Amino acid sequence: MEKSNPRRSLSLRAVYALCLALATLTHVILDLRYGLLLGGLESLGYPAFVRIYWASLTFLDPLCALLLFIRPRAGVILCAGIIVTDVLNNSWVGYQRSELDFGYILQVAFLIFVVTTAKCAWQRLSPNSKTSTKRE
């Protein structure tokens, strides 16, 4: 069995954070275009719960990116929660609107990446510290 590698955990968390930073940029652009709670999307048929969820990601995505480094375990949990709920939300929207776009495919790819690498990103992290603590 392969031993855990603290650098691998940090590298994975850095990739997660980069993806979350790019997602934050997307949400900020949407907020600027459609309003802070994306009210401008109402006329396009997007329900309130979808708009509020998307708007919340403007704050949750960068919070998670920070947590991945200052409270890594909380960051990994939040990252997994965000991408699972985002894909569920966007799957529902895509089904309701009979749409599929490249952004959704990227989200599904990120979901698969997070789900398959989260254990490695979690390894060797103490529950309350900012860095790896165990040595083998």
How big, in percent rounded to 5, are the helix, strand and coil portions of the chain? 75, 0, 20
pLDDT digits (tens, 9 = 90+) for 6-56: 789 999 999 999 999 999 999 999 999 999 899 999 999 999 999 999 999
For residue 57 the two structure tokens come to 């990601």
For residue 5 the two structure tokens come to 């590698």
Buried b / exposed e across 40-63, counting CB within 10 Å, b at 16+? ebeeeebeeebbebbbebbebbbb
For tokens 């490695």, the residue is 120
Q: What is the pTM of this model?
A: 0.87
pLDDT digits (tens, 9 = 90+) for 68-126: 999 999 999 999 999 999 999 999 999 999 998 999 999 999 999 999 999 999 986 76
Specify the pLDDT at position 6.
Answer: 79
